[in-house]
Chains A and B, each alone.
Chain A
Amino acid sequence: MKHYLWLPFLIIFFFKTTTSFAESSYVLPYPPPMPGSFLYKIRLVSEKIQKYWYFGNFGQFSYSLKQSDKYLVEAKTLFEYRQYLLGTQALKKSDVYFSETKPYLIRARKEGKNISKNMSFIKDAGLKHIEVLDKLELQVPKTFVWKPEKSFPSTLDLKESIRRSILIRSKSL
């Protein structure tokens, strides 16, 4: 019997390694209006207006993180519907917004603001993003050839772009 004492530990170990990617209690928003819908145009206009409403370094930080979250959820939804070109574009936007978050906090720190809470917020967000991206990476093909109707086809390096997104988030951890 004592030879099998290690068995529960092994089960726990495998269970843990196979089901957890990166886990975070951070909550992502609902999928926003998708490209092609009329509401998507309104969303883009509101995004531009909100850029000014969220003034201040903390405000800009919140804005960038919010937009990064939204575009990540958009990318995830589009990938799931195999809209790889639009998905890749959304993911790039999410990356840009995510990489803008930290510089705003650094500027806020220079202004004498305490940024510790927001730094941990970035980490939580980064973990959650990586969790989503990890799962997404398993679902998408390595590459995808996009054939537009009146233009030359182009190859989308899906896994590579997801890995790049993960790398951007990893820097925040």
Chain B
Amino acid sequence: MKKILIGSYICLLLFVAFISYLFVDPNFFYLKNIYSGIAFKNRQIITFLYLLIILSFFIFYFLFLLLIHRKLINAKDIKLLVVLTAGVLFFAYPAMLSYDIFNYITTAKVLFHYHENPYIVMPIEFANDPYLLFTHAANKIALYGPFWILLSGIPFLLGFGNFLLILFNFKLVIVLFYYGVSYFIWKISKNIFSVVLFSLNPLVVVEALVASHNDIAMMFFTISSFFFLIRKKVGLAVIFFILSIFIKYVTIILIPVFIYTFWQTIRKKTVDWEKAFYYSSLLMLIAFFLSPIREEIYPWYAIWFLPFVGLVHQSKTLLYIALAFSFGLLLRYVPFMLLGTHFGVTPFFKTALTFIPVFFVLIYVFFKDKLWLKIFSRS
């Protein structure tokens, strides 16, 4: 039974990796030989396939969680699953749902190839650069922190000017960070349920392993910083926490929790880590809700709070909300995939699909926990 399940899961991963190449952009001339345009010409079919993939991912996800709950799979199996998930999806085409990876590469090129400051000079200023054909948001200066830009130099320079090699170097870096987060969740919790809750979450799998968003790198430094704090390695903890801020700035919101836990640690007092992670997840959830101030809520922003939710999965309400968001956020792609436009009814449906699952979860919690009784008894 277990083998069949894992085998089917690998088939799903292979299918996702295959489907991702149907999304190759017509301007992405490096893969012009395999460009089919199927994803852009057969919107209904591709939307159906995407929904099928998402639903399958969630079914496997819940099955794995159920098997862990019933102690039918062990840590070794989970390790295999995590390795396989990243191992297979490493080969997926990253710009299936978002073009951010091209932006990382082009920004790295501004610094490491053109030797210009990416915070001053936009990629679009290098007219005739071939990467501009498929890079989106090339008319913006660097959006990410300086540490990410420095880190991006490693995969960029190791690509020796070969774009496809650079692209997969970036994917490899993201895969390593994904393994890192999974490892530190395991080290902190010693609970495979926590590991699976984060690492096999379909949103994490799609956004970190297919789309290769750097949010996973930021969360690697955050989670490892808390791990070092637990191990009383305060110096490393501070360095890693600062590095996490300088990847995407968001973790700056965790400063109160970090200072509190840091202060307790250096005073050799006990830290209620369960509470610390709970408040961290709430703070990251606040940052997630504040993101529309800058642009909009992007699906991969859920990676900000999901590692913490994995660490405090005993808080059922938070867990249900996080899972509902994971599902809703992945549905966010559907309106554009189906309609092919960012305008018209698309923004409305994007918002509706994001929040409807959360709304149902809240109703469920409201009645299950008899919150209505508590509210009315107070009044």
CA distance A54 to B119 in the complex (A): 9
| Complex contact A62–B120 (CB within 8 A) | yes
B103-131 at interface with A (beta carbon < 8 Å): 114-117, 119-121, 125-128
Which one of A54, A55, A62, A114 lies within 8 Å of B126 (CB-CB)?
A114
CA distance A118 to B121 in the complex (A): 12
Residues of B contacting A53 in the complex (Cβ-Cβ under 8 angstroms): 117, 119-120
A148 → B minimal CB distance (Å): 40
Residues of A contacting B127 in the complex (Cβ-Cβ under 8 angstroms): 114, 116-117
| Complex contact B116–A56 (CB within 8 A) | yes
Q: Does A113 contact B (CB under 8 A)?
A: yes
| Complex contact A113–B117 (CB within 8 A) | no
Residues of B contacting A111 in the complex (Cβ-Cβ under 8 angstroms): 114-115
| Complex contact B128–A54 (CB within 8 A) | no
- With both beta carbons as reference points, the residue of chain B lying nearest to A117 in the complex is identified as B127
Total residue contacts A-B, CB cutoff 8 A: 37
**A interface, how many residues as a size bin?**
10 to 19
Q: Does A21 contact B (CB under 8 A)?
A: no
Residues of A contacting B116 in the complex (Cβ-Cβ under 8 angstroms): 55-59
B39-68 at interface with A (beta carbon < 8 Å): none
CA distance A116 to B125 in the complex (A): 10
B141 → A minimal CB distance (Å): 11
Residues of A contacting B121 in the complex (Cβ-Cβ under 8 angstroms): 56, 58-59, 62
CA distance A31 to B62 in the complex (A): 63
Residues of B contacting A114 in the complex (Cβ-Cβ under 8 angstroms): 126-128
Residues of B contacting A62 in the complex (Cβ-Cβ under 8 angstroms): 120-121
A103-121 at interface with B (beta carbon < 8 Å): 111, 113-114, 116-118
| Complex contact A54–B117 (CB within 8 A) | yes
A2-58 at interface with B (beta carbon < 8 Å): 53-58
- With both beta carbons as reference points, the residue of chain A lying nearest to B117 in the complex is identified as A59
Residues of A contacting B117 in the complex (Cβ-Cβ under 8 angstroms): 53-56, 59
B121 → A minimal CB distance (Å): 5
A86-109 at interface with B (beta carbon < 8 Å): none
- With both beta carbons as reference points, the residue of chain B lying nearest to A118 in the complex is identified as B125
Residues of B contacting A116 in the complex (Cβ-Cβ under 8 angstroms): 127
A56-71 at interface with B (beta carbon < 8 Å): 56-59, 62
B59-118 at interface with A (beta carbon < 8 Å): 114-117
Residues of A contacting B115 in the complex (Cβ-Cβ under 8 angstroms): 55-56, 111
- Given A54-B117, A111-B115, 9 more pairs with CB closer than 8 A: A53-B120, A56-B115, A56-B120, A57-B116, A58-B120, A58-B121, A59-B116, A59-B120, A117-B127
A-B contacts, 12 of them at CB < 8 A, read A53-B119, A54-B117, A56-B117, A56-B120, A58-B114, A58-B116, A58-B121, A59-B120, A113-B114, A114-B126, A117-B125, A117-B127
